[in-house]
């Protein structure tokens, strides 16, 4: 996560629309039950994802990396009346928590959860997506991108989270065994050099790459 001061973060939060009460409850539950609670999207990033989804009004969303369901709930707010969000996570230990809060959300009936390897599940999906959110295993970002790029409609969007990786992408001495940073560097360069897309790297939370299929 980028190193903004607590006062700076509080100022941003106090000048943004408030976090939904269900999401506040989900945040508390995640910190109680999940070891890596910092993986949660949280108020500002969640609101950003909700805004993007509402601007696009997607019919089909793919999310890679459900965790406890916070980002799925936010993204689903912009779905069309018959729209569906497909969210995949390889870890089944927190599925119960995601299911509990998703079922209580206003768009819960539009969210479908999958447990398993996204690299195996995605090829089986015969769906053209309007929006894809990549937030799974950072070591597989280029593989995710290669799988989904042909499954996003022209004019559709891909958003990738954690692309600044706490600033480690600026380290000129990244070791080859630091597979997370090495992969994110490869991903960022891959997107930057892909003539099929337009892209914008935003310093939102831990860095978000906004990609439009041109």
What is the tens place of the pLDDT at every residue in 174-205?
888 899 999 999 999 999 999 999 999 999 88
50 within some domain: yes
Paired strand residues for 64: 88, 134
* Residues 27, 93, 144, 173, Cα dihedral to 10°: 70
> What digits encode the pLDDT tens for the residues 15-66?
999 999 999 999 999 999 998 888 899 999 999 999 999 999 999 999 999 9
Q: How far is CA 183 from CA 10, 111, 143, 146, in A?
A: 32, 29, 10, 13
Rounded to the nearest angstrom, the gap between the alpha carbon of residue 165 and the centroid of all alpha carbons in its chain is: 14
1 lies in some domain: no
Predicted confidence at residue 2, as pLDDT, reads 57
Rg (CA), the chain: 16
What is the per-residue pLDDT for 3?
Answer: 64
Cβ atoms of residues 138 and 169 within 8 Å? no
Q: What is the pLDDT of residues 97-134, one digit of tens each?
A: 999 999 999 999 999 999 999 999 999 999 999 999 99
Evaluate whether residue 169 is within a structural domain.
Answer: yes
Q: Which domain holds residue 12?
A: 6-213
- What is the number of domains present in the chain? 1
Q: Is 33 among the domain residues?
A: yes
Which residue in the block uniquely carries the two structure tokens 């119960």? 96
CATH number (domain holding residue 94) = 3.40.50.150
Residue 20 included in any domain: yes
Domain membership of residue 111 (yes or no) is yes
Q: Does residue 82 sit within a domain?
A: yes
Whole-angstrom CA distances from 80 to 38, 87, 205 are 30, 17, 27
In a domain, 64, yes or no: yes
1 pLDDT above the threshold of 80: no
């Amino acid at each position: 996560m980028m190193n903004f001061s607590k006062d700076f973060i509080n100022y941003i939060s106090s000048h943004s629309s408030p976090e939904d009460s269900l999401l506040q409850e989900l945040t508390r539950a995640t910190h109680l039950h999940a070891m890596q609670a910092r993986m949660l999207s949280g108020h500002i990033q969640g609101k950003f994802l909700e805004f993007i989804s509402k601007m696009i009004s997607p019919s089909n969303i793919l999310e890679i990396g459900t965790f406890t369901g916070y980002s799925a709930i936010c993204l689903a707010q912009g779905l069309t009346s018959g729209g569906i969000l497909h969210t995949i996570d390889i870890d089944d230990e927190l599925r119960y928590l995601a299911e509990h809060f998703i079922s209580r959300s206003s768009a819960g009936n539009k969210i479908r959860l999958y447990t398993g390897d996204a690299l195996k599940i995605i090829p089986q999906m015969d769906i053209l997506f309007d929006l894809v959110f990549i937030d799974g295993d950072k070591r597989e970002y280029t593989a995710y991108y290669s799988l989904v790029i042909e499954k996003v409609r022209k004019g559709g969007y891909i958003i990738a989270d954690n692309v600044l990786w706490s600033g480690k992408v600026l380290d000129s001495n990244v070791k080859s065994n630091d597979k997370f940073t090495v992969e994110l560097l490869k991903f960022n360069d891959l997107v930057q050099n892909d003539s099929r897309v337009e892209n914008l790297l935003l310093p939102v939370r831990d860095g978000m790459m906004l990609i439009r299929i041109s």
